[in-house]
Homo-oligomer: A and B are copies of this chain.
Amino acid sequence: MFESEPESAADPEDADPTTAKPRLERQRILKAGADFIEQFGVRQLTMRRLGTELGVEAMSLYRYVPSRESLLDGIVETVIDQLYEDPEVYVEPRHGWQDYLLRLAHGLRRLALAHPQVFPLIATRPAEAPWVRPPLRSLRWVESFLKALTSTGFSEKAAVDAYRAFSSFLIGHLLLEVAAMGADVGPVEEAEPHPPKEADLGGYPLLQRLQKLLSEDHSAQEFEESLENLLDRLENLAG
């Protein structure tokens, strides 16, 4: 995992971040935090534990992060910033707004599925400004979104409406999808891997009969269909 001490270096451009610890920078902490959450859940992330994870005392982290809360904020931020590194997602529309939105939606879904434990934080943590909604949590992405639409035929009002519709669609779908994966913004879950947690279906005959149907996973396909439906609806706004 770690251990190996080529310390010194100092080179701020980190050519290869996987080799050894390059002196505990903010990015390294946030990355480790994200990984930790993905592995053990938010509840398990404490300053002390993250410290030992990085081979360092808890208090050392405070040089780079003012508090646990802002650590979480930072983690959320770095995770959604990965959208910029997704080669499938364009910050500017290249083949029309539909293509732009499709790529953006798929990129966000990929992000959510890659970070099922972090995603609920993305969804519920307060944003930079009240009208910046999850999961597009940053001003930059909102700007990108609005620009993409207004530059391809949407009126400003239509673009804003589209932004709202898009946000709530994505948040709803992705949150439920990662929740179904066993996301765990809440209880501890300790060492138990996952007891099937069979509920008592006595008295719920329909549930009993439809249980199989209900537990089938069509998320990907549902996502696709609903997304297309959304785009169709937006087409009417475009004008």
Residues of A within 8 A of B (CB): 69, 72-73, 120-121, 123-126, 128-134, 139-140, 142-143, 146-147, 150, 156-157, 159-161, 163-165, 167-173, 175-176, 179-180, 182-188, 197-199, 201, 204-207, 209-211, 213-215, 222, 226, 229, 233
B172 touches A213 (CB 8 A): no
A179 touches B211 (CB 8 A): no
A171 touches B176 (CB 8 A): yes
20 CB < 8 A contacts A-B: A69-B188, A124-B175, A124-B179, A124-B185, A124-B186, A125-B187, A126-B187, A129-B198, A131-B211, A131-B214, A132-B199, A134-B179, A142-B207, A143-B205, A147-B206, A164-B176, A167-B172, A168-B176, A168-B226, A172-B175
Question: Given A130-B180, A146-B207, are A173 and B172 neighbors across the interface (CB < 8 Å)?
Answer: yes
A199 touches B139 (CB 8 A): yes
Please give 12 more A-B residue pairs, beta carbons under 8 A apart, in addition to A126-B186, A147-B206.
Answer: A72-B186, A125-B186, A128-B199, A130-B182, A131-B180, A139-B207, A143-B205, A146-B210, A157-B213, A167-B172, A171-B172, A172-B175
Chain B residues whose C-beta falls within 8 Å of the C-beta of A183 in the assembled complex: 124
Q: How far is the CB of A202 from chain B (nearest CB, A)?
A: 10
Q: How far is the CB of A209 from chain B (nearest CB, A)?
A: 7
Chain B residues whose C-beta falls within 8 Å of the C-beta of A197 in the assembled complex: 128-130
A123 touches B175 (CB 8 A): yes
Alpha-carbon separation in the docked complex, A210 to B139 (Å): 12
Write the chain B residue with the least CB distance to A184. Answer: B126
Chain B residues whose C-beta falls within 8 Å of the C-beta of A161 in the assembled complex: 222
Alpha-carbon separation in the docked complex, A162 to B131 (Å): 30
Q: How far is the CB of A187 from chain B (nearest CB, A)?
A: 5
Alpha-carbon separation in the docked complex, A169 to B165 (Å): 10
Interface core residue of A69, A147, A169, A186 (most chain B CB under 10 Å):
A186
